[in-house]
Structure 1
């Protein structure tokens, strides 16, 4: 798999403003809208950051994000922050989120959430440092890497917004590392004879082509994971040409798969259950598909720093 392990992260080594900047950048990256960074002004009134979280049904929820860059988040401190935020925002505020650098016990979480309910704040979300790091690795690996390596982020909210949304400040190497993550899925490392879903396999190839072309990375179920650079965002023309070649190779894999399905060389069993993982292959078909995937992954390996996915 792609070698992106850089942790664990010691958030305590960084100052409060640096931590807030990373939290703000992450939530921009995660798709929150109308984000304002109050902590930067020095007068946050219990609300370092405030913005709208986009829910699964498309609705928005006004939420305060408080950055607890301290070893322990106490109940008194949490109550003080929530009460202050409610006093400033009133009924417009619906939820609250703490992003902490340290651990938070289950008992402390429950107590803080109960205090939030009394203020009509629900849900109250609490991320420990390890939970924040996990979400950064999923949706903002390049943000985490820059944070750890001491590469400065833009110093203001608007600069961060441009940085997160456009990729223009990323180097080609950083963009390639981001692009490489789309190959971190079973469709690229599971031998074809062990594939458990023919429709899922085709969807994964379709989604990978879409991600390379548009920068929109989706799961097999069609849910957007996050935005990535597309091959067109890379600055070096020679690298862009090679990435375009990977897209063509993926399309060849897709077309061969469809052709073998039409020919009956790949076919479901006779149970008529569309979700059944049992299917049959003619001699050599699995090797044929695996060989194309090997070529695609070898091309990615030559292009992408740290890329190490291999079919097992």
Structure 2
């Protein structure tokens, strides 16, 4: 029987990178982790007031929230450094951000994390994360393995933020697992997580269903204004037959969901209670609400069937 050799995965030594290289790697990887309205890298220009990268994305309620990333590729990261960065970030903004994430290239003790998190909360920042080098590596390998491979196999990332954004949007996933993570990201947003009766924007809900159908069919995910968010692997291009079949059925369920929603509007089963048609207050007949919820749950279960096959964490259903 022939011997089989396993490819060994060595840990990444981020401390070998310059501060600029580390920030570029963080910036590029973030495009694969979330769907951003805007994501700007300030570290390249200097004078960043502690905030190397600032992003705006939707929270669970569909409202925009600001997330600030501070990159600290230090050999020994201390709570003094973390607290200093937090103070600079809060002082530089009109309002505290929704979340601060400090990305560190080395180890970080639990005590240091606790001190930084407690200090940030005392400054009005509700969500705080400190990624040690190993935790950032986990994020990279799961969400942005293609970026990681390109970077550490000798192909330098562009130096300008716009060029990095374009590169990541066009970069093919390195394997089916990364491709599956990009598909999962389509569904981690309010249109698929908020109860139907709790929706705050009917137009946004309808748009989200439509752009998800389009992304699964074409591989191109666009935001509400038509700007490219990222490219994903279309359902029909996955090699695994189970994945391909599950995603095909997901599209059919989403099409049914959109048809039922549109029919409800036409038949008056969904009525706006706001002074403006697109306002946040509306009434939906219970029978239609249950039908929409059931169809959406069916779509999410089908997606989970594909994600399970790909080894990607499942969506909450």
CA distance in 1, matches of 2:142, 2:63: 23
Segments of 4+ in structure 1 off by > 6 A?
244-249
CA RMSD of aligned residues (A): 3.7
Is 1:37 the equivalent of 2:14?
no
Look up the SS of the partner of 1:131 in the other structure.
Answer: helix
| Distance change >3 Å, CA 244–CA 29, structure 1 → 2 | closer
Aligned counterpart, 1:107: 111
CA distance in 2, matches of 1:153, 1:164: 10
Is 1:24 the equivalent of 2:27?
yes
Aligned counterpart, 2:174: 177
CA distance in 2, matches of 1:64, 1:74: 19
5 Å-filtered alignment, 1:137-156, equals: 137-156=141-160
| Distance change >3 Å, CA 118–CA 4, structure 1 → 2 | farther
5 Å-filtered alignment, 1:57-96, equals: 57-91=61-95, 93-96=97-100
Gaps of at least 5 residues in structure 2 are 1-5, 182-213, 222-229, 250-308, 310-317
5 Å-filtered alignment, 1:135-284, equals: 135-165=139-169, 167=170, 170=171, 175=172, 177-179=174-176, 181=178, 213-215=217-219, 228-230=232-234, 250-251=244-245
| Distance change >3 Å, CA 250–CA 81, structure 1 → 2 | closer
CA distance in 2, matches of 1:112, 1:43: 22
| Distance change >3 Å, CA 76–CA 213, structure 1 → 2 | same
Gaps of at least 5 residues in structure 1 are 185-209, 218-225, 233-242, 256-296, 298-312
Aligned counterpart, 2:295: none
| Distance change >3 Å, CA 132–CA 74, structure 1 → 2 | same
CA distance in 2, matches of 1:20, 1:176: 21
Preserved CA contact (<8 Å) 1:25 1:164: yes
Q: TM-score, normalised by structure 2?
A: 0.55
Q: TM-score, normalised by structure 1?
A: 0.56
Write out per-residue CA displacement over residues 200-254 of structure 1, whole angstroms, 9 at most, x where no aligned residue: xxxxxxxxxx98854489xxxxxxxx9534489xxxxxxxxxx5887799559x9
Give the structure with higher Rg (CA).
1
Q: How many residues align?
A: 205
CA distance in 1, matches of 2:119, 2:242: 55
Is 1:134 the equivalent of 2:138?
yes
CA distance in 1, matches of 2:31, 2:158: 13
